[in-house]
Structure 1
Amino acid sequence: MLRLVSLQLIATAMVGVLAALLGGWSAAISAVLGGICCVVPNAIMAVRLFAGTQKPGGTNPATFFIWEFVKIALTVALLWLTATLYRDLNWLALLAGFIVALKSYIFLLFRH
């Protein structure tokens, strides 16, 4: 899980640089914020699931579904906060950063 979260951070940084080159600073910040809206909930869920595997008896399957719901709710909340608080938001860059971070796990599939 740590590899996935770190890959998402790298992909977010790369999209931020590309957005800066194509659309300026507001596009770069929007792309990075979009990626962060994906990375932060995934990192929290990964830490919680890893902590659940360390306890005796392992993790409960219901724990996965609860944290998946928390992850989705946190993602929606972060996207809403970003749209509300950042006035120079570039929606295309935000969505590009979010989608690239969300789909960056595909690169791990082709690693071997």
Structure 2
Amino acid sequence: MQDNNAWDDDRDDAAKQDFKPLSREQAQALRAKNPSVSPWRVIAVQVVVGGVVAALAWLLTQRMEVAWSSLYGTATVVLPGVLMARGMTSRLSGMSPVAGAAGFMVWEMVKIGVSVVMLMLANRIVQPLSWPALLVGLVICMKVYWVALLWRR
């Protein structure tokens, strides 16, 4: 029977020998090649896309309740996103990696909770409510995240 620990040690030594830290210039070039996407930019694009979807909903149906329902679906994505972006860009989240990870989990739970509450209140806030229009606005605004990841400088 072979001792697998020896194999792990050999692999660790090989990985340590292959690892070379980046120079300052290499790190800057890597950051320039892969820029991060601002959460505020994503939210701004979601607002614009939601407005366009609501306008198209009104143009296609000529019914204001469809447009308002679509806008409420947009708000169900945007408002919790604003809360999360505000929480994640605060000074407390950037203090340490542990604080950042914990902050992300907390703000993600807040975001989900607010979204669920908004959906539960939709029928009381938007009268009369068109669930299909609300869901179209919600889904299209959620898909803006993927577009933002693809749409980098």
TM exceeding 0.5: yes
Once the 2 structures are TM-superposed, how far is the Cα of residue 60 of structure 1 from its aligned partner?
Answer: 2.8
Cα contact 1:37–1:98 (8 A) shared by 2: yes
Opposite residue 40 of structure 1, the aligned amino acid is: L
One of 120, 131, 137 as aligned partner of 1:91: 131
Opposite residue 86 of structure 2, the aligned amino acid is: V
One of 28, 37, 54 as aligned partner of 2:67: 28
Q: Any stretches of 5+ residues in structure 2 without a counterpart? A: 1-38
Once the 2 structures are TM-superposed, how far is the Cα of residue 106 of structure 1 from its aligned partner?
Answer: 2.3
Once the 2 structures are TM-superposed, how far is the Cα of residue 56 of structure 1 from its aligned partner?
Answer: 4.3
Using CA pairs under 8 Å that are at least 6 residues apart, name the structure with larger relative contact order, 1 or 2: 1
One of 41, 49, 57 as aligned partner of 1:19: 57
Q: Counterpart of 1:60 in 2: which secondary structure?
A: helix
Q: Does 1:103 align with 2:150?
A: no
Q: Does 1:44 align with 2:100?
A: no
Q: Any stretches of 5+ residues in structure 1 without a counterpart? A: none
Give the total of aligned pairs: 112
Q: Residues 56, 106 of structure 1: CA spacing in aligned structure 2 closer, same or farther, 3 A cutoff?
A: closer
Opposite residue 59 of structure 2, the aligned amino acid is: L
Aligned alpha-carbon RMSD (Å): 1.7
One of 14, 37, 41 as aligned partner of 1:3: 41
Q: Counterpart of 2:129 in 1: which secondary structure?
A: coil
Once the 2 structures are TM-superposed, how far is the Cα of residue 10 of structure 1 from its aligned partner?
Answer: 0.7
